A = this chain, B = another copy of it.
């Protein structure tokens, strides 16, 4: 049995189980002050551990986070704008309290791992998972391992051209009109003065949204050449996929000459299949891996 934490800016989702068909229990905890939220998280797992021993816990966390195992602040949230959570140690706190190995990655990498293990990216060697919601986050998996470097990817903040004639300043506090600044939920809200959920299907917002999503996806393909892209998040809707696939083909202009893209884009850019469970299920995978790593001689 493993524990999973999807540490989000509005809620912490905690689960005990071993996969989508083996969930022992789960709970959602509102994200308030770190001491309060984390105490409740630890209470949940402590109570669970009496019923079924927990071998490891995986955490998929909002960020930026420190993933460098050689760093003094490994396992911490770093410079988040989320009040009170700056420099919060997650791995140390949870690990010390529950005395189990802790797996750790970004929330998006955890969701990518969930879709890779049980969802729309199952068995896909090089997978990109992109989520478009209050922000735009992305993670790339290579053979089921998330790509990391100096820090984790921040592909939501890539700099993209504007759609011709668009003069919207963008909503990103760091970069203005980066990908996230033009195509996240808050960007749509700022641009149209309406919540994305209230915009009708025929609203021009969606055509523009498809164009910006296509720009972001084109750069992901040119940079990483993944075998599939799983595209989800609160702003996505079924109608967007057809339009963005057409625009994507236009943008690539035949340059990436691969049948997966030219002939079967409907199997290449796909919606997630685990819905909002991808992150917490992926955290279970992080837990299993942490356990396996600790168990090695």
Contact = CB atoms under 8 A, between A and B. Distances in A.
A147 B159 CA distance: 22
Nearest to A226: B149
A151 interface: yes
A142 to B, nearest CB: 7
Interface in A106-131: 125-126
B126 A158 contact: no
Interface residues of A, number: 44
A160 interface: yes
Interface stretch (A5-13, A94-102, A189-197, A252-260): A252-260
Nearest to A157: B222
B150 A222 contact: no
Given A159-B218, A161-B177, A224-B223, A260 B150 contact: yes
Contacts of A160: 159-161
A88 to B, nearest CB: 15
B257 A64 contact: yes
A149 B227 contact: yes
A223 B150 CA distance: 11
Nearest to A214: B159
Given A158-B219, A161-B161, 17 more contacts: A125-B149, A126-B150, A142-B142, A148-B225, A150-B221, A150-B225, A150-B227, A151-B225, A151-B258, A157-B222, A157-B255, A159-B219, A159-B222, A160-B161, A175-B253, A219-B223, A220-B223
